[in-house]
């Protein structure tokens, strides 16, 4: 089992963010194992529709389904 999210290299969430915030998200979601990836809203949306809007954060209060509906994905 890999310990880094399979989408890590192509996830744009890591650009344009404060370094401390980016580090926190990476530690909490990207590097924390499969259970943590699966709690990431970006991961969830990407698994369902193959992409995720740039402005969605891993801890978005919206469900994956709400994100998909809101962004008409």
Q: Which residue is listed with tokens 């290299």?
A: 9
Where along the chain do its domains lie? Answer: 14-70
Q: Report whether 40 contacts 58 (CB < 8 A).
A: yes
* pLDDT given for residue 62 in this prediction: 97
Among 26, 34, 72, residue whose Cα is nearest residue 53 = 72
Q: What is the pLDDT of residue 20?
A: 84
pLDDT value, residue 1: 52
SS3 51: coil
73 residues of the chain, pLDDT tens digit each: 578 999 998 887 766 678 888 889 999 999 999 999 999 999 999 999 999 999 899 999 999 999 999 999 9
Q: Is residue 45 within 8 Å of residue 21, measured between CB atoms?
A: no
Looking at residue 56, the DSSP 8-state letter turns out to be -
What per-residue confidence (pLDDT) applies to 40? Answer: 96
């Amino acid at each position: 089992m890999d310990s880094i999210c399979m989408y890590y290299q192509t996830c744009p969430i890591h650009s344009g963010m404060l370094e401390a915030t980016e580090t926190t998200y990476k530690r909490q979601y990207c590097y924390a194992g499969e259970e943590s990836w699966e709690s990431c809203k970006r991961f969830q949306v990407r698994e369902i529709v193959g992409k995720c809007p740039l402005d969605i954060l891993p801890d978005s209060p919206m469900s994956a389904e709400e994100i998909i509906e809101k962004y008409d994905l």
